[in-house]
Amino acid sequence: MFKLFQNDKTLSLDAFYQYDEPLGYKHWSVLGLAIWKQSKSSLTFYNTQSAAIGVGVGYTW
């Protein structure tokens, strides 16, 4: 009766990096994060893309 089909595709890439004791500072670290996500769909349509980048510093005692 109804010929409805849905077609989904998803892609996600995540990366995290931590560099300990930058420039010789003991107990400190520099952090980096990158995220990419992509999604596609069908029925009517749905399409989304997103990206995120983050940086930070950390300290341990």
What pLDDT, in 10s, does the model give residues 3-46?
A: 666 778 899 999 999 999 999 999 999 999 999 999 988 777 77
Provide the token pair at 38. Answer: 């992509």
pTM score of the predicted model: 0.66
Q: How far is Cα 2 from Cα 4, in angstroms, rounded to an integer?
A: 6
H or E stretch at 16: strand 9-20
